[in-house]
Structure 1
Amino acid sequence: MNYVDISVELFIGFILLFLMTKILGKTSINQVTPFEFISALVLGELVGNAIYDEDIGFGYILFAVFVWGLLMYIAEMLEIKFLKLRGFLEGNPSIVIQNGIIDRNELRKNKMSINQLQTLLRQKDTFSVHEVEYALLEANGTLSVLKKSLYSTTTQQDLDMHPRPTFLSVTFIIDGEVLLDNLKASGFDETWLQNELVKINIKRVEDIFYAEWQQDEGLYVIPMVQSTAK
């Protein structure tokens, strides 16, 4: 294989990977899920092998990238259409700190030590577990932290106010589908949810893009249209 062939195949591989990135969507590196990370590695390996193997021509590069890109595209479309499959492929967040208490079982399930948890907390400018009310380990490995009201950043709205309890918001509806487990865990049922939606003139769950509930704020709803309701 001469330098011209290598240059041409590198150029083709670069263009194909660039096109696959555009087609499959924009995801920043710190938002990549384990499934997407493995897919990217395999795609890069396919192109790399095709470029440096003298017995493999341009047709192999085109075919390999097309098939793998098609599989990734189909997987992403299925994730968008089927909520349960989305959780299976992307994973679900885990509550590792709840009501200020570290959940050792969740840490064990996610193969995480206390030291690793402390490291992630420090990256969120939290240097004591005592400051945390809730901490969620996201599917991409990052940590989302909700501090206790006593340690949260003060805003103008907080001035002249006594410390108040901190509550974690719970997602009830995504893409027109009710998350029954979350609803029941919060002590509600579908009848209650339907009654709450009727109060804001929404008759069908299918008309809701996203809905969450927080104990001190109530139900927050975003319809399929761009306007919001509460």
Structure 2
Amino acid sequence: MKIMYLTIELTVGFFLLFIIVKFVGKKIINQITPFTFIASIVLGELLGNALYDHQIGIFYIIYSMGLWAILLFVVEYLGQKYLWFRGMVEGKPSALINNGRVDYEELKKNRMNINQLQSLLRQSETFSIREVAFCYLEANGSISILKKTKYQKTTQEDFSLSIKPIYVPVTLIRDGKVLWNELKDLGFEESWLRTQLDTQGIFEYHSVFLAEWLEDDGLFVQTY
């Protein structure tokens, strides 16, 4: 009897879930916004908890999932109809890099540090901040990058330019702290680093937000 009842519940839950996802749309699967991410988790929890709670019947499974689906439809409808509601639910992208410069205030506002930004850039096949003209943190936590013209792939492929050696950028100063091990691995001394900073009018390490060395492009420095 229990097997039959569980079979009926699973079948009903399966088709309810299929219908809800079909009508709500792909956003709940792709989890485009924090809201859709939470909504998809709750939807799964509603079905999972109902199936394994023997005190809950099929009616309550249908009711709970149906009510949740209606609420999702309402939110989607209001988001399409009213811009202010869409902005409140979906959020807005944040410009972490603007015109080639890291926006330190935007990083703090999104509770991010330079390490996390560099990690996200590397995951997007961008290994140096100097390559980026604009970088936006999207509502779902991913980043969108627009590279500077000279770093865009089409320039080399379209004009058949000669292939140059590829070097990995090395961060030497981060958040005002010198990464001495990185400096040593490159074979440089502190005197060399000070000279590099002096030529750019920077005389204190703690005033440097980020300093990055690239073999064929020199030292890129951004202060706070």
Greater C-alpha Rg? 2
Conserved? CA contact 2:132–2:147, under 8 Å:
yes
Letter in 2 for 1:15: F
Match of 2:48 in 1: 48
Match of 2:212 in 1: none
Cα-to-partner distance string for 1:14-65 (whole Å, 9 max, x where unaligned): 1111100001012374552110111111111111121111111000001001
Deviates most, 63-72 or 1-10: 1-10
Task: State the number of aligned residues.
Answer: 160
Structure 2 residue matching 1:136: 3-state secondary structure = strand
Match of 2:111 in 1: 111
Distance 2:19 2:85 in 1: 26
Match of 1:19 in 2: 19
Cα-to-partner distance string for 1:178-219 (whole Å, 9 max, x where unaligned): xxxxxxxxxxxxxxxxxxxxxxxxxxxxxxxxxxxxxxxxxx
Cα-to-partner distance string for 1:92-138 (whole Å, 9 max, x where unaligned): 00000011111111111111121111111112110000111110001
Alignment of 1:34-183 (within 5 A): 34-154=34-154, 159=159
Distance 2:153 2:30 in 1: 24
Distance 2:63 2:154 in 1: 56
Change in 2 beyond 3 A, CA 1:151/1:29: farther
Match of 1:202 in 2: none
Conserved? CA contact 2:79–2:86, under 8 Å:
yes
Distance 1:115 1:9 in 2: 47
Distance 1:68 1:154 in 2: 47
Conserved? CA contact 2:95–2:134, under 8 Å:
yes
Distance 2:28 2:85 in 1: 22
Conserved? CA contact 1:30–1:140, under 8 Å:
no
Letter in 2 for 1:3: I
Change in 2 beyond 3 A, CA 1:106/1:29: farther
Unaligned runs of 5+ in 2: 161-224
Conserved? CA contact 1:96–1:135, under 8 Å:
yes
Unaligned runs of 5+ in 1: 161-230
Change in 2 beyond 3 A, CA 1:69/1:30: closer
Letter in 1 for 2:6: I
Change in 2 beyond 3 A, CA 1:47/1:28: closer
Structure 1 residue matching 2:153: 3-state secondary structure = coil
Distance 1:11 1:150 in 2: 56
Report deviation, 1:141.
0.8
* Higher fraction of helix: 2
Q: Percent identity at matched positions?
A: 51
Letter in 1 for 2:139: A
Report the TM-score when normalising by structure 2: 0.67
Change in 2 beyond 3 A, CA 1:35/1:17: same
Distance 2:129 2:30 in 1: 23
Report deviation, 1:158.
6.5
